[in-house]
Chain A
């Protein structure tokens, strides 16, 4: 079974992240790039499926030159090879355009499953998986916290606020995963060294079959018109316990859906 895992490089959430005031895109110089955290769960799930069913795991990244670091990390975890679509024309593409670019690139690959993290820690649109499935005309299984493949079908548990739904589809399919699905492994030194020799195919948009008129900031379907830093944290609400403290705490937790 061949699996393609979509990997995005994002600014490190441990550092201060900024947008570039000139064009409202991510200021990549402001912080270190790291692999999007949820994508690590996607890679882990793909590796586990490979260990069980055989086949190959391919990393697909659409992003700038420096995303190479994240690709290398993905390969160090145990993926077999990578495809990196890297082209200046892609700069500023929004979620829909990115999904289009990924769909076009997937057209050049053979796969049974596409797995991705349910959202990225930078843009957090959470729509790429759904848009991608639409472009490819494939079933979408989103927010998976468990994946089982049986022959030509795949079954997932789809995480919801109240529990989970069981969703089944035939292969090929697109699956987005949540962090409850597994515990991503740390790369061993052996794999880190082996990663250096694994093939990374670099494609321009033309080689990936991507139409230049459909990507990039100038052709984006959505536009960031304004942005502002998050307001500083305010002092919380003080609730006085007049014998009903327990009830108030329970109500508060329920309102935040913790209970």
Chain B
């Protein structure tokens, strides 16, 4: 029983760590301040094959696995969360549904460009009046003369409005099920389709160098063949995608939590107060020890969930636990790191200030902490 990484995974981890340190760290603060999308960094990540990590080579991927993606996300987020979430959303929300549920034609059309990072995919599930209650979809799609006609609005959609966004897969009500509940399906909408407009670009507290938009569909027509997966299975398909996405978000959160430890270890050896480096004070040491303990336990939690996923075992509960503890570790560590940095921690020019701003969304995005607890409770057999 061991969570020692294989030589290949370890080398990937080291490679991405070096990339993050050398190519991302020196420049990302500037993108963040300007709330600009880092096209150059995304292109370099594409050349490294990060966008194709968990996909087989025959669809344009790297032939790796989900753990490889998670390790890359952790190492990126150790330096910056905006680039990490751009990768996470592109792979697990943009490309994965097409890989998992797409027809051979849909895969051939989209996956090579998505895997190379030349194009980004997005997934539109959340609506202005439906976040955690994802089943309350109001967007509609009706068939008319061989085309889906889509109407509705989607909220907080990552990677949906960049210059290289190729498609958004949206969930929409396509009819009524025999039991009277809405029939929800997923439909691929290529960027630039008439009737598909990018609404407001949000002003966000964190993840400022990532792309997040509101999307508006007004009589937007796409071919009937753009249905992704089975009609009426849109919601169920998406839930299965979210299950594994939670492991990826946990990895990203662990990266942020580790980044806080890295920054503090550097800082407390330099900063002097009352005549000594602050790293000599027990109050500081205990804080950092707690931070390291949170990172370690959260990392083990996501490794375990990933190991189950790779072994083909049930992982729903473990993924929810990993996401819950890792996002809390990120939030707690960001708060402690900012405290250790004092006034400098409140300045955007220091990474910990960015970590603080980036941490909160981890307790919200891709399933809130409350949703994780609901999932865990259900898996424990408690009544719905």
| Interfacial residues, chain A to chain B (CB-CB below 8 A) | 72-73, 76, 185-190, 192-193, 196
Cα distance, A51 to B49, chains bound together (Å): 19
Question: Which residues from A are CB-within-8-Å of B57?
Answer: 190
Given A72-B7, A73-B11, A76-B11, A189 and B64 touching (CB < 8 A)?
yes
Cα distance, A16 to B303, chains bound together (Å): 31
Question: Which residues from B are CB-within-8-Å of A189?
Answer: 8, 12, 49, 53, 62-64, 68
Interface range on chain B: under 10, 10 to 19, 20 to 34, or 35 or more?
10 to 19
Question: Which residues from A are CB-within-8-Å of B44?
Answer: 186
By secondary structure, the A interface counts as helix
Asked if B11 and A187 sit within 8 Å, CB to CB, the answer is: yes
Q: Which of B12, B15, B57 has the most CB of A within 10 A?
A: B15
Given A185-B47, A186-B15, A187-B15, A196 and B7 touching (CB < 8 A)?
yes
Given A73-B11, A185-B47, A193 and B63 touching (CB < 8 A)?
yes
In chain B between 89 and 103, which residues have their CB closer than 8 angstroms to a CB of chain A? none
| Option from A185, A186, A193 in Cβ contact (under 8 Å) with B8 | A193
| Interfacial residues, chain B to chain A (CB-CB below 8 A) | 7-8, 11-12, 15, 18-19, 44, 47-49, 53, 57, 62-64, 68
By secondary structure, the B interface counts as helix
Given A72-B7, A185-B47, A186-B48, A192 and B63 touching (CB < 8 A)?
no
Asked if A188 and B7 sit within 8 Å, CB to CB, the answer is: no
Question: Which residues from B are CB-within-8-Å of A73?
Answer: 11
Asked if A196 and B8 sit within 8 Å, CB to CB, the answer is: yes
Asked if B19 and A192 sit within 8 Å, CB to CB, the answer is: no
Subset of 7 A-B contacts with CB under 8 Å: A189-B12, A189-B64, A189-B68, A190-B64, A192-B8, A192-B15, A193-B63
Cα distance, A189 to B62, chains bound together (Å): 6
Question: Which residues from A are CB-within-8-Å of B64?
Answer: 189-190, 193
Q: Which of A72, A76, A187, A196 has the most CB of B within 10 A?
A: A187
Cα distance, A73 to B19, chains bound together (Å): 14
Q: Which of A72, A187, A192, A196 has the most CB of B within 10 A?
A: A192
Cα distance, A23 to B344, chains bound together (Å): 46
Report the minimum CB–CB distance from A185 to chain B (whole Å): 7
Question: Which residues from A are CB-within-8-Å of B68?
Answer: 189
Question: Which residues from A are CB-within-8-Å of B8?
Answer: 189, 192-193, 196
Question: Which residues from A are CB-within-8-Å of B7?
Answer: 72, 196
Question: Which residues from A are CB-within-8-Å of B18?
Answer: 186
Cα distance, A34 to B313, chains bound together (Å): 37
Question: Which residues from A are CB-within-8-Å of B15?
Answer: 76, 186-187, 192
